Amino acid sequence: MSATSSAAPLTVRASIGELDADSVAFMALQPKPPAVPPTPEIAREAMRRMRPVNQPDLPHVAMIREYQAPGPGGPIPLRYYRGVGTATNEALPVQVYFHGGGWVIGDLDSHDWTCRAVANAAKCAVVNVDYRLAPEHRFPAAYDDALAAVKWVAANAKLLNIDPARISVGGDSAGGNLAAAAAIGLRDEGAIKLRAQILTYPIVDLTWRYDERFSEGVALTSGGMRAFIDAYAPLPEQRRDWRGSPMFTPSLKGLPPALVILAGFDPLYDEGEAYAARLKQEGVAVTVTRYPGQMHGFASRPKLLPKAYDAIADMAAALTAHQ
């Protein structure tokens, strides 16, 4: 895979402002970080246990189904939703969604609320993808699964009752990374024309030098982000491959319109800004929404961080605009 030089400057934000009151309260509830980093299995179980704390009761949707798509490493579990208020016989626009979790944690359930909320707000279908996780499955396994999932959705439009000409991709954090990379891969292949890419605090450059002001006191620390990268893409050449670092692609021209959602107290903020700027520079329609006092992960924690609802509205507005 070809690569280009990445723009990964040291962070220059003079001030990062102050955490919102709900973010401060959220951090006050968090236990002290363990002296020894947890194993992936323990981290995954901790995420599962925190879901009732972070998320309200799951919203009702018009339909939910479980499917499996064939993938390069075996079947890929998928969860399909149709939003409330959609017609049963209507071929809906669809967003293929990739959950966050640093390519190491997260699953269909961790982002079930998010997918349901987007389906209802945008009056669309959503397909939630349970791609393979690291370190058991390192780069490019997650990317390969993401691309296979989008292709399966397009090929099975009749089964899903969706419009194959109205497919978008989206995701948060590592899922935003997969959505951005899948958009590039699909553009290059040419068979599927995406309508939009919804990138919520995406990881776009695995070589980025993180702001050490986020070394503690926030939901995702700079050290935590580096640990996720080590688990997924341990080799330098992997980190400079555009499938892992979309910023390294030679060209962003011809990509679908993008919404980039950023949180101010997030080591990924600066690379998200840089990616949005490069998309715009290369002729891609871009909207950036910023939540200065929020932290990484806020969009999937509505119970304690209610600006998640605003982020869902942002996603739905972008999807609706490009349907």
Q: Which of 145, 211, 266, 314 is catalytic?
A: 266
Enumerate residues 6+ apart whose C-beta is below 8 A from 227: 37, 102
For the chain, how many residues are written? Answer: 323
8 Å CB contact between 19 and 298: no
Q: What is the mean pLDDT of residues 75-91?
A: 97
Region of 268 on the Ramachandran plot (φ > 0 left; ψ -120 to 50 alpha; else beta): alpha
Q: Residue 72: which pLDDT band, with cuts at 50, 70 and 90?
A: very high
Whether 137 sits among the annotated catalytic residues: the reply is: no
E strands, 130-256, are 162-172, 197-200
Q: 112-122 and 308-321 helices cross at what angle (nearest 10)? A: 50
Distance CA 225, CA 215 (A): 10
CA angle 127, 272, 202 (to 5 degrees): 25
For residue 173, indicate whether it is catalytic.
yes
In tens, the pLDDT along 280-307 reads 999 999 999 999 999 999 999 999 999 9
Structure tokens at 82: 């149709």
| Cα(178)–Cα(303) distance, integer angstroms | 26
Task: Extract the tokens encoding 259.
Answer: 């919404």
pTM, 2 dp: 0.96
- Residues 14 and 11: their CA atoms lie apart, in Å, by 9
Q: What is the pLDDT of residues 145-169, one digit of tens each?
A: 999 999 999 999 999 999 999 999 9
Q: How much is the average pLDDT of 103-121?
A: 98
pLDDT class for 99, splitting at 50, 70, 90?
A: very high
Q: Active site residue: 6, 23, 168, 173, which one?
A: 173
User: Domain 34-321 sits in which CATH superfamily?
Assistant: Alpha/Beta hydrolase fold, catalytic domain (3.40.50.1820)
* pLDDT more than 70, % of the chain: 96
Which residues, other chains included, contact 181 with Cβ-Cβ below 8 Å and sequence gap of 6+?
143, 146, 242, 243, 244, 246
183 Cα distance to chain centroid: 13
Whether 241 sits among the annotated catalytic residues: the reply is no
